[in-house]
Amino acid sequence: MSLPFWCVFISAVLIFVAKIPVAKAMKEEGVGYDNRHPRSQQARLSGFGARALAAHQNSIEIFPLFAAGVLMAHVTQTQGHLVDLLAVLFVVSRVLYLFLYWNDKHQLRSLVWVVGLVCCLLLMLSPAL
């Protein structure tokens, strides 16, 4: 399997890694984890729990764009160091993004988010580069 495909796999796993602190925050809310109505409970989260939920949701939102970029590069047989670098840089940006969101570093988080977005867009454009 190619390095960009491994990065897609890792990015998919990161979606679920990002859910772990959400579940922990829900459990610590006082009533435990409400498996019958988890979205209602998530809507009541504040502070760290709310940031963890937003980071998790953003991980879901950005994943299709990244996967599309990798697939566009793949189906056009665009390979090489640039595609590999963009895929790895995206994964690194997403890991940093999670830590920055969890720790309320909003300005750095936004900058790192832009880096990840640019990686996705450049992956989509890589066949033309």
Per-block mean pLDDT, blocks of 10 residues, the chain (129 long): 96 97 87 84 92 96 98 93 97 98 96 98 94
Per-residue pLDDT at 16: 96
Q: Which residues contact 33 (CB under 8 A, 6 or more apart)?
A: 23, 26, 27, 41
Per-residue pLDDT at 36: 87
User: Token digits for 66?
Assistant: 């990244």
Taking CA atoms, 93 is separated from 32, 66, 102, in Å, by: 32, 12, 14
Q: Which CATH architecture has domain 3-128?
A: Up-down Bundle (1.20)
Per-residue pLDDT at 1: 87
Angle at alpha carbon of residue 105, lines to 94 and 115, rounded to 5°: 35
Give the integer Cα–Cα distance in Å for 53 and 21: 8
Per-residue pLDDT at 8: 98
Per-domain residue ranges of the chain: 3-128
User: pTM above the 0.75 mark?
Assistant: yes
